[in-house]
Amino acid sequence: MAAAIQNLNNDKAMQHATWSICVMNTKKDSAIVDYNSHISVVPASTLKIVTTAAALSILGSDFKFETKIQYDGTLDTITGILKGNVYILGGGDPTLESEFFKDKKDSSTIVQKWAAQLKAKGIKSIEGAIVGDASIFEDNMTPTQWIWGDMGNYFGAGACGLSYHDNKYTAKFKSGAAGTETMITSVEPAVDNMVLVNHVTSGGSDDNAFIYGSQYSNYRTVQGTIPSNKTDYEVDGSLPDPAYFCARQFEIALRKAGIKISKPTTTVRAERDSDLTEKKVADAKTIEYDVKKRTTLFSTFSPTLEKIVYWTNIKSLNLYAEHLLKYICYKKTGFGRETEGTMIITNFWKAKGVDVSGFFMNDGCGLARANAITTKTETQILRLMSTDKNFTAFYNSLPIAGKSGSMSSLCQGTFCENNMHAKTGYITRARGYTGYVKNKKGELLCFSLLANNYECTPTEMKLKLEKLLIAVAECE
């Protein structure tokens, strides 16, 4: 390990870099290896271990999100006429119609199942609107420190109190010879009134197309390059308004089921903002749909948190991590806010004895470059989590070296293969690994390895850090 650390220090690519490593035995509160472990480093997606571990510990591995279908007004069970609105009351569930929980043998969408349930209850006509209610979380879906270049893309989809279809759509492109313009052939699923202006050209071998657009705005531009001579080349973007999209899909499903609806789809946020624009009231807090006056028809529950955390870490799902952070805040305060959520999680670990000096949490997933953490802090969290009753769920969610997720190509043919469980992280000029490995004595070690501002390609940095990961398993 000492030689591996020295070799990386001497590497020309690291002459302007900041990097750190900390290794602990889970049975001892002291470092086996400590190099710059007190230095704050950008963690990228390794930050997800902080959020997912806290979520499991606070909420429990068996926790499930709940989405309620409600109505206000009156329902005539004889005529089947509902005089009022139908609401989708979001419960912060990131899994509604998510590709990661979709049963491929079941072609029905969740909104189609909801429509069938309403029809089974004898509802034939709704003299009102389908209303999406995402008010469990703040309206601002994206963290303050996320950059413009991320927010329009699928990985920059923010957490909404009523999320649906992973809050994303897919634009399909047709490309020709290098340097020529491309054509958007379809957008799936269709998003009402969205304008997608295409400036993408053909060229290169990778997906270098980026979508730009803000939350609640239907205007989007996409620019960059995609490989030449492709048909139906997919580029994923973030939905402008997930709560409206969910409500609209429900409306479409209801109409197909033969249920009449008299008013256009809307959301609690849109109606409240409309009231404000028309100056009907002075204070936004006084405008709300009274949940107490609603009747709940039925509920939909998410898969267990254990399964949600598994996909969060194995696929590094930013959206899921942000939902967990905001829901923790909702659990503690009654309303899901990003800034309060980061403070609650930070204080949660501090109260357990983790040294959070040098820890600056600005989101739950690691996409924000304003995040900073020490490898000592990450390693202490991992060590504490090893004694938590939800440890097995957490441990099994981490990608396995040489086998699964973002660790599948690492450490193959070494002692780490099928042994090291670690969350990886990568954003521009920041790469890291944090997790567990058993040494040759069978002792469980926890570690964090983070590097910033190196002067080489991401792939080259990955190979350099791989040597240290292999050395970690040799520690005693």
At 292, which CATH number?
3.50.80.20
Residue 350 to residue 338: CA distance in whole angstroms: 18
Q: What is the pLDDT of residue 476?
A: 81
Boundary residue ending a domain (238, 260, 284): 238
Provide the phi-psi class of 131: left if phi over 0, else alpha when psi is between -120 and 50, else beta.
beta
Q: What is the pLDDT of residue 276?
A: 58
Statement to judge: residues 295 and 439 lie in one domain: no
Statement to judge: residues 191 and 265 lie in one domain: no
Q: What is the pLDDT of residue 279?
A: 52
- Work out the angle at residue 246's Cα, subtended by the Cα atoms of residues 243 and 252, and round it to the nearest 5 degrees: 140
- Is the CB of residue 423 less than 8 Å from the CB of residue 49? yes
User: Domain of 35?
Assistant: 2-62+305-472
**157 DSSP 8-state letter:** P
The list of the chain residues with pLDDT below 50 reads 281-288
Indicate which CATH number applies to the domain containing 320. Answer: 3.40.710.10
Boundary residue ending a domain (212, 238, 264): 238
HSE (side-chain half, CA atoms, 13 Å) at 354 = 26
Q: What is the average pLDDT score of the chain? A: 95
Specify if 149 maps to a domain. Answer: no
Q: What is the pLDDT of residue 274?
A: 76
User: Torsion angle, CA of 458/462/464/466, rounded to 10 degrees?
Assistant: 180
Q: What is the pLDDT of residue 389?
A: 97
Sequential DSSP letters for 276-333:
HHTTS-S-GGG----GGG-EEEEEEEPPPHHHHHHHHHHTT-HHHHHHHHHHHHHHHH
Residue 169 to residue 131: CA distance in whole angstroms: 21
Statement to judge: residues 268 and 212 lie in one domain: no
Statement to judge: residues 409 and 381 lie in one domain: yes
Q: What is the pLDDT of residue 475?
A: 87
Statement to judge: residues 194 and 209 lie in one domain: yes
- Is the CB of residue 65 less than 8 Å from the CB of residue 301? yes
Statement to judge: residues 277 and 265 lie in one domain: yes
Q: What is the pLDDT of residue 277?
A: 54
Statement to judge: residues 189 and 81 lie in one domain: no
Boundary residue ending a domain (183, 208, 238): 238
Statement to judge: residues 380 and 466 lie in one domain: yes
Specify if 123 maps to a domain. Answer: yes
Statement to judge: residues 125 and 269 lie in one domain: yes
Statement to judge: residues 90 and 231 lie in one domain: no
What are 240-285's pLDDT values in tens digits? 999 999 999 999 999 999 999 999 999 999 998 876 555 554 444 4
Statement to judge: residues 323 and 428 lie in one domain: yes
Distance in Å from the first CA to the final CA of the chain: 11
Structural domain total, the chain: 3
